[in-house]
């Protein structure tokens, strides 16, 4: 995963200045049908008529890697989400700031009746 511009700046401020940086206290996973990029400009799945909503996530950290500590399951789609190609980690269930984002290994078309699930320990955020 890559950090967004906002959180790259926050990380550098935390490490190299005395600037006070607000740390997120909650994390939400978002699904995108295009690359959200560092400025969150991609297309997030529509909440209109689809039952889609960002899902909360918890993480554990070991070394330079954070991993989801429980499964993340999205609601059963009541209409097509489209083809989900990217995910993002936000600090709010709606709006908020994009923290990190990545392309999925394999894009997935989510149609009516489908459920997208990320199993425990399958979402990794690594700092190199």
Is residue 3's pLDDT more than 90?
no
- Beta-carbon contacts of 9 under 8 Å, excluding residues fewer than 6 positions away, are none
Q: Domain-by-domain residue ranges, the chain? A: 2-15+28-118
> Is the Cβ–Cβ distance between 90 and 7 less than 8 Å?
no
> Is the Cβ–Cβ distance between 108 and 83 less than 8 Å?
yes
Read off the pTM.
0.92
- CA dist 75 and 29 (Å) reads 13
Res. 122 pLDDT band, cuts 50 70 90? very high
- Beta-carbon contacts of 102 under 8 Å, excluding residues fewer than 6 positions away, are 1, 2, 86, 87
List, in sequence order, the alpha helices (H) in the chain.
5-16
Residues 64-107: pLDDT tens digits?
Answer: 999 999 999 999 999 999 999 999 999 999 999 999 999 999 99
């Amino acid at each position: 995963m890559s950090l967004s511009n906002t959180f790259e700046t926050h990380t550098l401020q935390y490490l190299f200045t005395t600037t006070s940086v607000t740390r997120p206290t909650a994390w939400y996973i978002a699904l995108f049908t295009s690359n959200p990029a560092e400025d969150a400009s991609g297309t997030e799945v529509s909440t209109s008529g689809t039952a889609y909503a960002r899902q909360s996530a918890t993480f554990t950290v070991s070394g330079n890697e954070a991993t989801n500590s429980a499964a993340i399951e999205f609601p059963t789609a009541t209409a097509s989400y489209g083809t989900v190609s990217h995910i993002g980690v936000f600090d709010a269930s709606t709006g908020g700031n994009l923290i990190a984002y990545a392309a999925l290994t394999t894009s997935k078309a989510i149609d009516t009746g489908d459920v997208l699930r990320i199993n425990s320990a399958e979402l990794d955020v690594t700092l190199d």
